[in-house]
């Protein structure tokens, strides 16, 4: 039995009934023998494009052309005709990779930025700060969870505790191919994690099942050995000495799975998992690389060609002429035969073809626009930004990025809250051996992106406040947000109210219906003078 079937049986064991994510008689499955294999293939493909190294892409598509596409020959017909797939069968080609897939993810991660967690309880805030610092959670999220979830579609955090290593929770992130989720009525009831080992030249896979049962959290371990036919057989944990101490565990009063799924976008073809940002974009990535590779080849073909008389070249020891050495210049020898008058010309001539480079540049820009559609604004990538645009115009160009960012942050906020809450519960379990609190109240705020400058906000909100369109409290809240504490905001509100009262008193002195007597008297005095 292979590992995929073993995991299916494992899920079935504690689910009791397997709810399929799609109709087994759906027409889309007509030419698909194993949809699970296709999912794994797509994950590997997305990740290879994200890595952004030409040699990795060539290695991946060479393997797919030889083996991978044959597993699902009808479903993978389009992949066989990719530029990277076809070119993998040829030797003398310079393949150029754009690096755009990696740039898209890196730009989005930077746009999302870092986050802060706030709570009014100083003791709880100190515990949260300690967890963030000890687990290096922000780094894990920024460098692993966010980019890999965007690329692969899903992943999962795993919360560990090992008192031999640390007196606080430990956090690991698992990529999509190494986790399986189990839901019942839309509620997560289990996660299966996969870890791979090599011991005495044999391959092993450790399945760690984390699930909930009767209000308790359960951790179970199974070790499987691979044979040469990709078949797996269960073996004792003691087979690998480092795993011999692992024992199944029950954590009472923890009615949660000791793990948190990471999913940003819904996938209609794989409902319990997520959708990659690269879904539907691979064809365009391949086209862009083909255009850039053709452009590179055109540059080489346009290299000037020199025709030279053989007699003019220096000779080697064997009497053959030495070829001139110069980067990317092609030399063609011509015989120095006499012309009709018996004269030897002996001239070196140079030719250069006139080729259309502009077509490749325009085509590349067009493909890039299609790639970024629905994901990022070109302005976010630093593309086609007019230097004369004012701040408002720049923010208009960022709208697509902001919408994508907001969708991700909405999901990410829930993921981080669940993860930190789980860590706080485990921390209590480590400290006291018991769990008494199952929920914690704290806020998560991400860095601002493409927001108006403070000067612009001050100008707009200040006019609205002066005209009485918004209250003083609302004005302070919108202008300062989290930059001021509640005490500082109250002081600011009081000062502004005093200022408004003074301004109203001054304006009251200039009532049109009741002219001031002192001004009237002063005017008369001046007139008499």
Q: Which residues of the chain have pLDDT under 50?
A: 388, 513-529
pLDDT at 320: 82
How far, in Å, are 155, 397, 429, 512 from residue 45 at the CA level?
16, 31, 41, 77
- Both tokens assigned to 496: 């502004």
Q: How far apart are CA 108 and CA 305, in angstroms?
A: 46
pLDDT at 517: 47
Q: What is the pLDDT of residues 356-395, one digit of tens each?
A: 778 888 888 889 999 999 899 888 888 765 554 555 555 6
Crossing angle for the helix pair 472-480 and 454-466, nearest 10 degrees?
170
pLDDT at 52: 92
> Helix, strand, coil % (nearest 5) of the chain?
50, 15, 35
Question: Taking the chain, what is the end-to-end CA distance rounded to the nearest angstrom?
Answer: 115
pLDDT at 1: 66
Instruction: Report CA dihedral (192, 407, 437, 189) to the nearest 10 degrees.
Output: -30
Spatial CA neighbour of 207 closest among 218, 217, 192: 192
Q: How far apart are CA 450 and CA 275, in angstroms?
A: 26
Q: How far apart are CA 279 and CA 152, in angstroms?
A: 9
Question: Helix, strand, or coil here: 457?
Answer: helix
How far, in Å, are 375, 394, 454 from residue 379 at the CA level?
12, 8, 22
CB of 367 closer than 8 Å to CB of 342:
no
- Both tokens assigned to 233: 């057989």
How far, in Å, are 123, 128, 136, 168, 480 from residue 133 at the CA level?
16, 9, 5, 11, 28
- Both tokens assigned to 163: 């008192």
Q: How far apart are CA 176 and CA 196, in angstroms?
A: 14
Question: Helix, strand, or coil here: 459?
Answer: helix
- Both tokens assigned to 217: 């959290």
pLDDT at 284: 95
CB of 190 closer than 8 Å to CB of 212:
yes
pLDDT at 136: 92
Phi-psi sector, 382: left (phi>0), alpha (psi -120 to 50), beta:
left
Q: How far apart are CA 178 and CA 493, in angstroms?
A: 54
Give the total residue count for the chain: 529
Sort strands 249-251 and 349-351 into parallel, antiparallel or unpaired.
unpaired
User: What's the farthest any 2 CA atoms get from each other in the chain?
Assistant: 122
CB of 379 closer than 8 Å to CB of 398:
yes
Question: Helix, strand, or coil here: 331?
Answer: strand
Question: What is residue 208's DSSP assignment?
Answer: E
pLDDT at 520: 47
**Is the C-alpha dihedral spanning 14, 17, 20, 21 positive or negative?**
negative
pLDDT at 315: 80
Q: How far apart are CA 467 and CA 453, in angstroms?
A: 22
pLDDT at 478: 82
Stated pTM of the model: 0.78
pLDDT at 523: 44
Question: Helix, strand, or coil here: 203?
Answer: strand
Q: How far apart are CA 123 and CA 427, in angstroms?
A: 13
Q: Outline where DSSP puts E strands in 361-492.
A: 443-446
Contacts (Cβ under 8 Å, ≥6 apart) of 65: 80, 85, 88, 89
Backbone angles phi and psi of 281, in degrees to 5: -110, -10
Contacts (Cβ under 8 Å, ≥6 apart) of 22: 29, 35, 269, 271
């Amino acid at each position: 039995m292979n590992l995929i079937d073993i995991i299916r049986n494992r899920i079935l064991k504690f689910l009791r009934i397997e709810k399929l994510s799609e109709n087994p008689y759906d027409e889309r499955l007509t030419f698909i023998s194993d949809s699970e294999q296709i999912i794994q293939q797509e994950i590997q493909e997305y990740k290879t494009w994200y890595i952004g190294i030409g040699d990795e892409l060539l290695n991946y598509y060479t393997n797919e052309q030889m083996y991978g596409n044959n597993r699902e020959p009808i479903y993978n017909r389009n992949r066989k005709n990719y530029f990277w797939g076809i070119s993998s069968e040829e030797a003398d080609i310079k393949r150029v990779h754009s690096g755009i897939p990696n740039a898209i993810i890196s730009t989005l991660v930077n746009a999302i930025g870092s986050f802060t967690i706030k709570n009014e309880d100083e003791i709880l805030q100190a515990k949260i700060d300690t967890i963030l610092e000890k687990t290096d959670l922000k780094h894990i999220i920024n460098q692993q969870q966010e980019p890999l979830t965007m690329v692969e579609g899903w992943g999962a955090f795993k919360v560990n505790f090992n008192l031999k290593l640390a007196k606080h929770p430990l956090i690991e992130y698992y990529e999509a191919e190494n986790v399986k989720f189990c839901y019942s009525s839309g509620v997560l009831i289990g996660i299966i994690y996969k870890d791979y080992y090599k011991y005495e030249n044999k391959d092993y896979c450790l399945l760690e099942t984390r699930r909930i049962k009767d209000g308790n959290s359960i951790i179970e371990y199974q070790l499987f050995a691979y044979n040469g036919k990709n078949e797996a057989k269960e073996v004792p944990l003691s087979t690998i000495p480092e795993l011999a101490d692992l024992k199944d565990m029950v954590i009472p009063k923890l009615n949660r799975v000791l793990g948190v799924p990471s999913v940003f976008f819904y996938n209609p073809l794989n409902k319990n998992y997520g959708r990659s940002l690269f879904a539907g974009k691979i064809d365009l990535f391949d086209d862009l690389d083909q255009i850039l590779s053709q452009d590179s080849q055109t540059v080489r073909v346009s290299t000037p060609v020199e025709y030279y008389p053989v007699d003019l070249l220096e000779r080697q020891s064997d009497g053959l002429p030495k070829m001139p050495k110069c980067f990317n210049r092609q030399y063609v020898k011509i015989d120095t035969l006499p012309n009709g008058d018996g004269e030897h010309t002996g001239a070196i001539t140079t030719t250069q073809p006139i080729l259309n480079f502009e077509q490749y540049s325009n085509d590349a820009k067009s493909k890039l626009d299609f790639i970024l559609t629905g994901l990022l604004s070109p302005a976010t990538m630093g593309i086609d930004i007019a230097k004369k645009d004012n701040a408002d115009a720049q923010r208009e160009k960022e709208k697509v990025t902001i919408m994508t960012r907001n969708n991700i942050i909405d999901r990410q906020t829930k993921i981080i809250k669940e993860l930190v809450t789980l860590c706080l519960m485990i921390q209590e379990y480590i400290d006291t051996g018991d769990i008494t609190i199952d929920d914690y109240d704290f806020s998560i705020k991400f860095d601002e992106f493409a927001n108006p400058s403070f000067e612009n906000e001050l100008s707009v909100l200040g006019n609205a406040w002066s005209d009485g369109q918004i209250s003083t409290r609302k004005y302070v809240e919108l202008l300062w947000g989290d930059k001021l504490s509640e005490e500082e905001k109250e002081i600011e509100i009081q000062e502004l109210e005093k200022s408004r009262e003074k301004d109203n008193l001054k304006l009251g002195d200039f009532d049109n219906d009741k002219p001031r007597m002192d001004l009237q008297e002063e005017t008369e005095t001046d007139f008499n003078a």
